Amino acid sequence: MSTPGATPAAPAPAAGSDDQTPLVQVDHVKQYFPIKDGLLIDREVAAVHAVDDVTFSIGRGETFGLVGESGCGKSTLSRSIMRLLDPTSGTIRFDGADITHIKQKALRPLRRDMQMIFQDPYASLNPRKRVIQIVGDPIKILGGVRGGKAVKARVQELLATVGLNPEHINRYPHEFSGGQRQRIGVARALALEPKLIVADEPVSALDVSVQAQIINLLDDLQEKFGLTYIFVAHDLGVVRHVSDRVAVMYLGKIMEVSPADELYARPIHPYTVALLSAIPIPDPHTQAARERIVLTGDVPSPIDPPKGCRFHPRCPRATDVCGQVEPPLVDYGSGHLAACHHPVGVSAEALAAGTIAPESPASAGTAPPDAREAGRSWDDGPAPLV
Ligand SMILES: Nc1ncnc2c1ncn2[C@@H]1O[C@H](COP(=O)(O)OP(=O)(O)O)[C@@H](O)[C@H]1O
Ligand code: SF4
Ligand SMILES: [Mg+2]
């Protein structure tokens, strides 16, 4: 993005960073929130296990979809990566540099390189500020651009980039529609020419008719500016067409991660199968043919998560082992990983070739699924006990 009044060049990438180094590397990250008994002594009595040993990396220019029901830890993980939180353990690397525990001053350049787009475009925009301030302030404060004219020109250019009228710089957020407000949020995120944009449910609060416009805008901007995205959503439908890869989270853990096309065509994890069954298909015949899997019960508390597989109290395929041993993340080839003792539709060859992935949590078991699970469809259920 080369523009008049553009921000100064980004700081040099860390040693070891090159085009092959993933932009984001999340390595066995935990983010717990301590619950304290603050009455007499400030001691920790329990913890919310919001993110619990999660590993993945994101390549430059990639869109990484992060999907799961509300409360499964998507926003917390996003905030850990952005270093808005101090991770409990594990390592986060950005552009090759370890940023896990870097201090405020060192975080400053990162605040430019990583930007966030929020779910509720109204709540995330200060209602008392005009667009020129909302989009222009970060340019002045973090971008170091001085002079009203330069800032104004840059804000107008950004508004045009996101499909808004550049003449509207003096308007307040309430003078825009929901979709337009989200465009202002996108302009603000773009202002400092970031490398990474974390879009946390960016269209969940918008009318369905407007959702596609914002998604298309994000798609266009990615191509134009070579952006890398983490795209958070609570259903698989929203991220389908934008994601290169998708990770499905449940109660702080990654259940399945895969190239997007592969995940939608051949889901392995029962939780993914259930989430996919909830997406409406435009063709009524196909919709009628597909059984909707209704998950009963709520997501359990992350304060005391279920033993074994965290999904087992709600899983239609669960057997005894599921409540006892946490299933490891198994690599079935082509970057398709799933953590389940009774995987859905995995061929005998893929099962035989499956290996425990380095991404598997330290607390997980070390035995991949039994060979008798090969080729079992959803309707077949798990292999019978012998
Ligand atoms: N600051 C916090 N203190 C304590 N618990 C939190 C905090 N932030 C989030 N949580 C809890 O962590 C879990 C994951 O939340 P969140 O990351 O917001 O999920 P999601 O974005 O997937 O809906 C939830 O149980 C939530 O209540
Ligand atoms: S391990 Fe068991 S409970 Fe967990 S998803 Fe697989 S079948 Fe269901
Ligand atoms: Mg959230």
Non-local CB neighbours of 200 within 8 Å, separated by 6+ positions: 74, 75, 78, 116, 117, 118, 119, 232
- Please state, in angstroms and rounded to a whole number, the distance separating the CA atoms of residues 141 and 151: 11
189 has pLDDT over 60? yes
Q: Best of 30, 31, 33, 234 to mutate for ligand 1, by most ligand atoms within 8 A of CB?
A: 33
Does residue 33's CB lie within 6 angstroms of at least one atom of ligand 1? yes
Q: Model confidence at 283, in pLDDT bands (50, 70, 90)?
A: low
pLDDT > 50? residue 1 = no
* CATH class of the domain whose range is 24-38+45-247: alpha beta
Q: Is the confidence at residue 121, as pLDDT, over 90?
A: no
Q: Work out the end-to-end distance of the chain between its first and last CA atoms, rounded to an integer number of angstroms.
A: 62
Question: Quick check: CB of 242 below 6 Å from ligand 1?
Answer: no
Mean pLDDT, all residues of the chain: 91
Q: What number does the ligand 1 atom closest to the CA of 232 have?
A: 21
Question: Is 164 a residue whose pLDDT tops 80?
Answer: yes
pLDDT for 386 equals 62
Q: How far is the CA of 309 from the centre of ligand 2 (A)?
A: 6
pLDDT in tens, 330-363: 999 999 999 999 999 999 999 999 999 999 999 9
Q: Is the CB of 76 under 6 A from ligand 1?
A: yes
Tokens representing residue 261 in the block? 């096309």
Range 141-170 average pLDDT: 92
Strands 330-331 and 337-338: antiparallel
* pLDDT for position 303: 96
Residue 244's pLDDT is what? 97
Q: Could you tell me the pTM of the whole model? A: 0.92
Best residue among 29, 30, 44, 48 to mutate for probing ligand 1, ranked by most atoms within 8 Å of CB:
48
Of the segments 11-15, 31-35, 283-287, which one has the largest average pLDDT value? 31-35
Residue 112 has pLDDT above 50, yes or no: yes
pLDDT for res 286:
58
Pocket of ligand 2 (CB under 6 A): 269-270, 309, 311-312, 315, 317-318, 322, 327, 340-342
Closest CA to 229 of 207, 203, 268, 209: 203
- CB-neighbour burial class of residue 136 (10 A; exposed 0-12, middle 13-18, buried 19+): buried
Q: What is the pLDDT of residue 7?
A: 37
Name the percent of the chain lying above pLDDT 90: 77
Predicted confidence (pLDDT) per residue in 22-45, tens digit: 999 999 999 999 998 777 667 888
β-sheet bridge partners, residue 98: 93
Residue 127 exposed, middle or buried by CB count within 10 Å (0-12, 13-18, 19+): exposed
Structure tokens at 211: 């959702």
Structure tokens at 248: 């499905």
Dist CA 114 CA 93 (whole Å): 12
pLDDT (average), residues 229-250:
94
Q: Distance between CA atoms of 59 and 252, rounded to whole angstroms?
A: 22
Alpha carbon 15 to its chain's center: 26
Answer yes or no: are the C-beta atoms of 14 and 95 closer than 8 Å: yes
CA of 160 to the centre of ligand 3 (A): 29
Distance 71 CA to ligand 1 centre (A): 6
Report the pLDDT value the prediction gives residue 285, as an integer from 0 to 100.
62
pLDDT at position 3? 35
User: Ligand 1 atom closest to Cα of 302?
Assistant: 25
**Residue 72 near ligand 1, beta carbon < 6 Å:** yes
What's the pLDDT tens digit per position in 313-333?
A: 999 999 999 999 999 999 999
Give 297 Cα–ligand 2 centroid separation in angstroms. Answer: 16
Q: Where exactly are the structural domains of the chain?
A: 24-38+45-247, 267-375
Q: Considering just the CA atoms, what is the radius of gyration of the chain in Å?
A: 22
pLDDT digits (tens, 9 = 90+) for 49-92: 999 999 999 999 999 999 999 999 999 999 999 999 999 999 99
Both tokens assigned to 226:
């070579």
DSSP codes of every residue in 64-129: EEEE-STTSSHHHHHHHHTTSS--SEEEEEETTEE-TT--HHHHHHHHHHEEEE-S-TTTTS-TTS
